[in-house]
Chains A and B, each alone.
Chain A
Amino acid sequence: MKYLDEYRDPVLARRLLAELRTVATSPWAIMEVCGGQTHTLVRQGIDELLPAGIRMIHGPGCPVCVTPLETIDKAVAIAARPDVVFTSYGDMLRVPGTSGDLLGVKARGGDVRVVYTPLDAVRIARENPERQVVFFAVGFETTAPANAMAVLHAAETGLRNFSVLVSHVLVPPAMTAILDAPDNQVQAFLAAGHVCAVMGWTEYEPIAARYRVPIVITGFEPLDLLEGIVLAVRQLETGRATVENQYVRAVRRAGNTAAQDVVRRVFRVTERTWRGIGPIPASGLALTAEFAGFDAESRFATDGVRTAEHPDCIAGRILRGTAVPTDCAAYGTRCTPRTPLGAPMVSAEGTCAAFHHAGRRQSTVEAAR
């Protein structure tokens, strides 16, 4: 299949692994930012075949995982309203909030629908003028343009029964927050290819320079990741720290400027709380004043929502890359994809779920050590 098979060639994969073994002479810790990359690494077992000393740290790039509990609780409260059709991408439905998840709301009679594009939510709003249609606008820079388009579309057609619950987050501020943390172990990044397809990489250049950290924009197929790791290790071994583009088939330095324009028109940069990490300044998107009328949070009073966190799960450390799922006492026992304690166990791109789906168990990891 064009654009897939050629990035899954087993012979080339083994060749890249061999190349990595000759290039790597010192131990290095590299963070793959995006959950999609974590999924490929773990599913293919790439991280287990890396030369001794090369360690992959799994980053916070799963939008489902970092959406704050408070926002999930607001979504659950809004979705439970009888006048609301609540629309969302599929994997937000199972993220546990304080008092349940969106699938539970659906089972109890709430009108919760999976959509594949926010424009479907706009269509549902147009077809159901007597209902309030809310779209759960989550994700990184990747999903922001389409979500912005949906708001623009609703505004242009005068749709009064459409609104968005916004919890957009931005990658670069999360990377600097990780680098600034006192217990940071990350020495190089594989940046998220799809985010860069939209945003380009100019905003990563100051990070690479200031923190002396190599940043390799990397795709999501097995060969992409192996090549990204080789490029990062080459930089680390030679003391370079620049932004390099492995994902040349999708990413240009300037990114997709038309998409950026739409995002800038509809959204403004704001502080956001990241689940498991905490508030990070200028790390998210909120609606601009012009489009504030489409904000579901102000349309539906959600102030009464009380959120409660529980001390057991170590999702925060996992999202910052200072722990792996198998370090968690609850992993695989009290916390499974069936009964997730935390968001990283829910989304296929969550680190805990990626580990669990690939059958990583405490005992396997110990045996490997």
Chain B
Amino acid sequence: MTTIDPARTTCPVPATETERVLLGHGSGGQLMAELLSEVVTAQLGEPGPLEDAALVGVGDTDLVFSTDGFVVTPRFFPGGDIGSLAVYGTVNDLAMRGARPVALALAYLLEEGLPLAELREITASVARAAHECGVRVVTGDTKVVGRGAADGCYLTTTGIGVRLRGAFPSATRGEPGDIVLLSGPIGAHGTAIMSAREGLGFESEIRSDSRPLHGLVAAMITAGGPDVHALRDPTRGGLASALNELAEASGVTVEIDEIGLPVPPQVASACELLGLDPLHVANEGCLVAFVAASSADAVLAAMRNHPAGRQAQAIGVVGEAGGLAKVTARTLVGSTRVVDMLVGEQLPRIC
């Protein structure tokens, strides 16, 4: 007979790395939030709620201002590449504050040895994407570092936009009673990148949803005006992190219905295989909105009339602050669970 020795039933002292930057600090989840509050905003001053882009008033005009770095690997993936992603990413951050994008600055950080043909291809993609979005790349910078000091090519884009008339979306404006609208299926970008990166050899072709969203936002603002309370594109950290951030900034709670969440079958399969939660997987072509109930139908109809929002749907409601968690989901058996932010890096499970 085996006996269990109670003296062995113990656990170790925590020894989590706290003095170095971990990959998880860049995953858009809790670790990143800690890094921002403990290191960045602690020294640069609290900028208020962390928005995708900042409003800067100049005379009578509200400029919207944002910057974003792009380090995606592989640089070319099903559905996009680092060049178009760098344009769409910043355009979308501007759009989340209700802006029409106007101009971009583009900085290259290149590793010695990068084939020029690849740089040409990336730049051509930047040009195509900028043309598509109606923005011009008006200034930039190029730096080259020695072999091994960077991984091929990183891009940074900084964008300026002008706030659309009647547009006041902010992470802080969510209100109890708002309807939560989602513009399209989730999880495609993250799973496309992961299957390309890890060489998983999925037979299926999952394509990134990378695309600009400013046109969709303009249609939503036309339909709902100031009733479009909050907008966010759920990139790193996925829909779960975006909803948690909006709920936190607005001081509200969110309840979503897990049964109706639009997860494409191929994405669902890949997530099952890798042990990932689609709610935590990155997107590059959809947005989530808190819209006043009185305008929700009109805004939803406007979204469905736009090519980037054909599959838009309501996924939940905004509630009063309080209770046990910021974001909860109704499960398929009718129970409720908390939808938490991603903690660190997504770690595929064993079995």
Interface of A is mostly: mixed
Inter-subunit contact B10/A36 (CB<8 Å): no
Inter-subunit contact A341/B14 (CB<8 Å): yes
- Which residues on the B side are within 8 Å of A143 (C-beta)? 350-351
CB distance from B295 to the nearest CB of A (A): 30
Instruction: Please measure, in the bound complex, the distance between the C-alpha atom of A140 and the C-alpha atom of B335, giving whole angstroms.
Output: 31
- Which residues on the B side are within 8 Å of A106 (C-beta)? 23
- Encode A331-351 as 1/0 by CB contact (under 8 A) with B: 000011111111100011100
Interface residue tally for chain A (C-beta within 8 Å):
90
Contact status of A107 and B31, CB under 8 A, knowing A114-B347, A358-B338: no
Contact status of A222 and B332, CB under 8 A, knowing A69-B12, A341-B12, A348-B349: yes
Q: Interface-forming stretch among A91-99, A233-241, A297-305? A: A91-99
Interface residue tally for chain B (C-beta within 8 Å):
55
For chain B residues 1-52, which have a beta carbon within 8 Å of chain A? Answer: 1-6, 8-17, 20-24, 30-31, 34
Residue A14 is within 8 A (CB to CB) of chain B in the complex: yes
Inter-subunit contact A277/B8 (CB<8 Å): yes
Residue A176 is within 8 A (CB to CB) of chain B in the complex: yes
- Encode A56-78 as 1/0 by CB contact (under 8 A) with B: 00000001100001000000000
For chain A residues 299-323, which have a beta carbon within 8 Å of chain B? Answer: 307-317, 319-320
- Which residues on the B side are within 8 Å of A114 (C-beta)? 347-348
Residue A289 is within 8 A (CB to CB) of chain B in the complex: no
B3 contact from A180, A311, A337, Cβ within 8 A: A180
Residue A27 is within 8 A (CB to CB) of chain B in the complex: no
Inter-subunit contact A340/B14 (CB<8 Å): yes
Inter-subunit contact A338/B347 (CB<8 Å): no
Interface centre among B20, B325, B336, B347 (most CB of A within 10 A): B347
Residue B132 is within 8 A (CB to CB) of chain A in the complex: no
Q: Interface-forming stretch among A41-49, A149-157, A200-208, A259-267? A: A41-49
- Which residues on the B side are within 8 Å of A181 (C-beta)? 3-4
Besides A107-B21, A173-B2, A276-B9, 6 other CB < 8 A contacts? A90-B349, A142-B351, A277-B4, A309-B8, A315-B11, A340-B14
What 3 A-B pairs come out closest when comparing CB atoms? A316-B9, A359-B338, A45-B335
What are 30 A-B pairs with beta-carbon distances under 8 A? A9-B332, A10-B334, A44-B333, A49-B335, A63-B350, A89-B349, A91-B275, A91-B349, A96-B13, A97-B15, A98-B15, A101-B17, A103-B22, A107-B22, A108-B20, A114-B348, A116-B274, A139-B350, A142-B351, A173-B2, A176-B2, A180-B3, A281-B2, A310-B12, A312-B10, A315-B11, A337-B343, A338-B344, A342-B12, A361-B324
